[in-house]
Structure 1
């Protein structure tokens, strides 16, 4: 809004107000007196422009965005804690039990035992919030002494930890809620309820999927992958633990079925021309990382198929790649169709 209020424009305007019979050339007394004031005024206009953007939800950021959306009953999703499965064994690989609240560490990330699943298998909660709790697998080091413990293995991600919701993601969700308000158990309500559960990264709602009064809620986790059985169970209990009784947030009479999305593997093969700066293994690793991010970005977006041309462009952008030939997705050179209730998941990447 104040783009025209530059240092040069302000200084010229100030000099034009000085009588012409006074020396106004650069280096003159009046010029040197006005120049610092013009610079300060231009900075004020820059700050005014910045502050103006913070009073509209379209452009506000961080705490200002939170304050603007709060009167509408919406809140930013804060970082959540990952829940993982762990396996504990003693001599000869015999499962052993460990005390609740005992703590373990892997790669500097710590976990606390919260629930026994079965003999030698437990649920652990990460003590650090965010996606860091999802990243590591393998042998853990006990922080607390556990008698008879030989190996502690960190295994499945039961409920993914999620990072604090970004401005862009929160803004999108805010506008969705304002423009498609949730009322009396409509589709927007069920989607809103599913997203209120920590670890849920997306939801689709299919009304009347099995006759009158039935609702199917399909969910993915915070990493945009099919939800685990544990997360599905938590969302089911929150929305409707008993069909039609209104015990959860769903209205009386609603027969709600929460399920995980179906995964569609994306297997990539191709031949590339390298520029000699990197190995084929390094290129494959970088390409897989880029594709995983792309698949996550299109998860549960309507009509968001996996686009062959886009993946080809991404491959060319990988450092070390000069060109490619014979690129195939699941054995073909076309797009991969992703239907409702499905989510694309990276399978294998094999470049030669």
Structure 2
């Protein structure tokens, strides 16, 4: 809005208002007196431009986006802690603490029917608690006990990103949400920390039934979220509906092709970049498309830095689009690129 209000334009406008019989050259008394004022005015206009962006949902970020959406009763989902499985050589007390690398874990309960296996909560929030496996060090000086950190029971999630919060805000204000319709169920599912997207199937098993399919904030499968979403929806849904919460089945998309390098990068570098591009493309199709485009994969190959051409492109062994069922989500399988002979 104030892009034209630069330091130079403001200073020139100020100088133009002074009579020409006065010395206005750079270094003159008048010039040196007006220049600092012009700079401060330009900075003020720059700040005003940014301040305007911070009060609208499409451009607000951070705490300013929080304030925009709070007017509609929406709050940013907080970071959550990972729940992990710990196995020990003998029984350990509930509440005992263990450490591995930069993370610590507290034993919360014993897992039924599993011998000396326990559920432990990571004391650090976010995805840090998902990353490690291996031998744990006891913090409470328990003697004669060895323990290992194994499975993820519930993955930890980072604080909701601006993009996800903005998407929830748009879904709320742009979708006609009424008492117990499909938009309501999607909204309720998205309110649960860790849920990245949801799809609702009304009347999926007859009258009075609703199925909600969810993925986590990384657009991947986390079955540990299903119980949390179910419990939340049960507290807010209308009386009478039988709700089922589930996760989509994964369908691997394998890609192979012969490529011609342009000489600027190595094969392993272009393979890494292309694999990342494929993963990002597939994330964007979840709940949105039921076909993985052969042509789109080809365009991703050509847009990968270092590749000048390709041939023999295969998706899941064929040279055509790959269909995705309504209850499936595509994930990247084996990506095999080789240099053309």
TM-score scaled by length of structure 2: 0.87
Q: Tell whether 2:259 aligns with 1:265.
A: no
Among candidates 108, 122, 126, match of residue 122 of structure 2: 126
Among candidates 162, 166, 169, match of residue 164 of structure 2: 169
Match of 2:107 in 1: 113
Aligned Cα root-mean-square deviation (Å): 2.5
Asked whether the 8 Å contact 1:139–1:154 carries over to 2, the reply is no
Asked whether the 8 Å contact 1:202–1:220 carries over to 2, the reply is yes
Match of 1:55 in 2: 55
Match of 2:149 in 1: 153
Asked whether the 8 Å contact 2:279–2:332 carries over to 1, the reply is yes
Among candidates 248, 251, 262, match of residue 238 of structure 2: 251
Are residues 273 and 2 of structure 1, via their aligned partners in 2, closer, same or farther at CA, if it must alter by over 3 Å? same
How many positions carry a matched residue from both structures? 335
Q: Deviation of residue 292 (structure 1)? A: 3.0
Query: 1:11 aligns to what SS in structure 2?
Result: helix
Whole-angstrom CA distance in 1 between matches of 2:311 and 2:122: 44
Match of 2:181 in 1: 186
Whole-angstrom CA distance in 2 between matches of 1:152 and 1:238: 32
Asked whether the 8 Å contact 2:105–2:121 carries over to 1, the reply is yes
Are residues 263 and 169 of structure 1, via their aligned partners in 2, closer, same or farther at CA, if it must alter by over 3 Å? same
Query: 1:343 aligns to what SS in structure 2?
Result: strand
Among candidates 194, 210, 213, match of residue 208 of structure 2: 213
Query: 1:188 aligns to what SS in structure 2?
Result: helix
Whole-angstrom CA distance in 2 between matches of 1:57 and 1:317: 32
Structure 2 residues not aligned, in runs of 5+: none
Q: Tell whether 2:302 aligns with 1:308.
A: no
Whole-angstrom CA distance in 1 between matches of 2:301 and 2:293: 13
Are residues 190 and 67 of structure 1, via their aligned partners in 2, closer, same or farther at CA, if it must alter by over 3 Å? same
Are residues 298 and 82 of structure 1, via their aligned partners in 2, closer, same or farther at CA, if it must alter by over 3 Å? farther
Asked whether the 8 Å contact 2:66–2:75 carries over to 1, the reply is yes
TM-score scaled by length of structure 1: 0.85
Query: 2:238 aligns to what SS in structure 1?
Result: coil
Whole-angstrom CA distance in 1 between matches of 2:291 and 2:135: 38
